Amino acid sequence: MIAEHAIILAVVLPLLAAPLCILLGRGFLSWIAASASVWTSFGLALHLLNRVLHEGTIRYALGGWEAPVGIEYRLDAAGALVMTVVTAIASIVLPYSYTSVRREIDEHKHHWFYACLLLCFSGLLGITVAGDAFNIFVFLEISSLSTYVLVSMGRDRRALTAAFKYLIIGTVGATFYLLGVGFMYQMTGTLNIEDLSQRLLAMSGDGVTPVYETTTIRAALSFLTVGISLKVALFPLHVWLPNVYAYAPSVVSAFLSATATKVAILIFLRVFYTIDGKAIPFEALPLAQTLVPFAVAGAVVASFIAVYQRDVKRLLAYSSIAQVGYMICGIGLATAAGLESGLLHLFNHALMKGTLFLAIGCVVYRVGQTRLELLRGVGREMPFTAASIVIGGASLIGVPLTAGFVSKWALLTAVLAEGRWVIAVLVIVSSLIAVVYVAQILHVMLIRKRPVGSERLREAPLWMVVPTFLLALSNLWYGVVDGRAADAARAAAAALIEEVAR
């Protein structure tokens, strides 16, 4: 029974653990409930990934109503990969969160915090498995609303303005998405994504043009693109992101940076491959041509801005925008290799950014702030945290033997296979700038000396260091030993391409 319902339980259990947190009312009990449900989801996600890779797409009719009458859950390899990333990061973040949250958030807000974290988590999961365009909107809003709350719990008052701006921009993005879905619905009469993709091929009312060539569908696609790009924080629609990551509580920054934009990228794939791919192959869209330059420009510009940041978390946030550029660039190539590199980088970026934000969280726990000049020599007294930052940073640059190298190499080969030299050069330039900003962090934290007279720091508590360090080691593990992530990404890319061809 569990196997049959795994796909729904993975989403619903954490969603229901959220009200449970409110009923339990106490920080510790909420944390237990949250951890238990998140780990269960992780187990179920691994099971599902395994099944999808062996048996193909899994479907589940909610309420027992067959699609398109009812809502369908539909998990393909790409969805399963993102689902695994989200659940894995959440399972690592939760043990870490207990200590960190106690330091950063008022005691009486703890159960609200865990409830929102769970809502955000299950909202993101709900998107990865949804097979219905409107259902994606609903779960997008669950995760967004809870994100606004989580961000606003940050200590700094700028967290409030960051959350407000994100709320306005996020709601506009979601409304654009809704508008795009509405246009599509009007031309096809359905919301199920597979049914949509079939009906786009039909003839429209005048009997001459097929539906996918009508102006309405073109407008719908442009609205969907803008709406999703806002959520992905694709350059130049990224303005909300730096402050959100910079002023959110450490746990939230780590969780969001590793998951939220990734799920938005998945929605992107859903629209352009699963829904629209049959009618208009992605590479035939004028969009594909414009997207790659934007993505690469974003990668370079955002890396460049990152160098000038004085706050570590803002620096990492800008670096995230750059990394999203790589992923979109890979996807925008619209080849199997490009897709594969994009998806693989999605997985690896979750590992490295998760590591870095968790490590910065450890620093915040001891030092209490994130301005770069005040972190002098901190790394010398917190060895494991420092080691995590070194590994995470190396992976971010793409040093061989780390996970970051694998995916960046894949991206470069994919770009070169298409003969696009300029883009390849820009990707390398952006990586070189990454060397500069990572070196900056390491220089300040490891080489500079602590100011005279400052008290000696201790390593962060075990509950925080162990998850951080484990995640850091996973960067090496997936860089050197384990090729399963790459295999999964390859399978996911192949499945998306095959779907289009069918």
Binding positions for another protein, 145-174, rule CB under 8 A? 145-146, 148-149, 152-153, 157-158, 160-161, 163-164, 167-168, 171-172
Q: How far apart are CA 179 and CA 170, in angstroms?
A: 14
Q: How far is the CB of 212 from another protein (least distance, A)?
A: 11
Q: How far is the CB of 171 from another protein (least distance, A)?
A: 5
Q: How far apart are CA 293 and CA 291, in angstroms?
A: 6
Q: Does 252 bind another protein (CB under 8 A)?
A: no
Which residue reads 């719990």 in tokens?
153
| Three-state secondary-structure class, residue 131 | coil
Q: Does 284 bind another protein (CB under 8 A)?
A: no
Among residues 48 and 71, whose Cβ is nearest to another protein? 71
Binding positions for another protein, 373-432, rule CB under 8 A? none
Count of residues that bind another protein according to CB under 8 A? 80
Q: How many CA atoms lie within 13 A of 447 on its CB side?
A: 7
What tokens were used for 237?
């629609």
Q: How far is the CB of 282 from another protein (least distance, A)?
A: 21
Q: How far apart are CA 257 and CA 460, in angstroms?
A: 21
DSSP secondary structure of 203-216: B-TTSSSBGGGSHH
**Listed residue (347, 304, 161, 316) closest to 250, CA to CA:** 316
Which residue reads 């097929």 in tokens?
210
Q: Does 12 bind another protein (CB under 8 A)?
A: yes
Which residues, at least 6 apart from 284, have a Cβ–Cβ distance to it below 8 Å? none
Q: How far is the CB of 17 from another protein (least distance, A)?
A: 10
Among residues 36 and 62, whose Cβ is nearest to another protein? 62
Q: How far is the CB of 76 from another protein (least distance, A)?
A: 19
Binding positions for another protein, 72-131, rule CB under 8 A? 108-109, 112-113, 115-116, 119, 122-123, 126
Q: How far is the CB of 62 from another protein (least distance, A)?
A: 4
Choice from 29, 138, 297, 372 touching another protein (CB under 8 A): 138
For strands 72-75 and 58-61, give the pairing. Answer: antiparallel
Q: Does 23 bind another protein (CB under 8 A)?
A: yes
Considering only 188-196, 300-308, 377-385, 416-424, which stretch makes contact with another protein by CB under 8 A? 188-196
Task: Report yes or no: 346 and 493 within 8 Å, Cβ to Cβ.
Answer: no
Q: Does 314 bind another protein (CB under 8 A)?
A: no
Among residues 155 and 420, whose Cβ is nearest to another protein? 155
Binding positions for another protein, 27-66, rule CB under 8 A? 60-65
Whole-angstrom CA distances from 176 to 180, 273, 414, 469 are 6, 19, 32, 40
Q: How far is the CB of 177 from another protein (least distance, A)?
A: 11
Count how many residues are written for the chain. 502
Please confirm whether the linkage preceding 68 is cis (ω < 30° from 0). yes
Among residues 109 and 484, whose Cβ is nearest to another protein? 109
Binding positions for another protein, 190-229, rule CB under 8 A? 190-191, 199, 204-205, 209, 211, 214-216, 218-220, 222-223
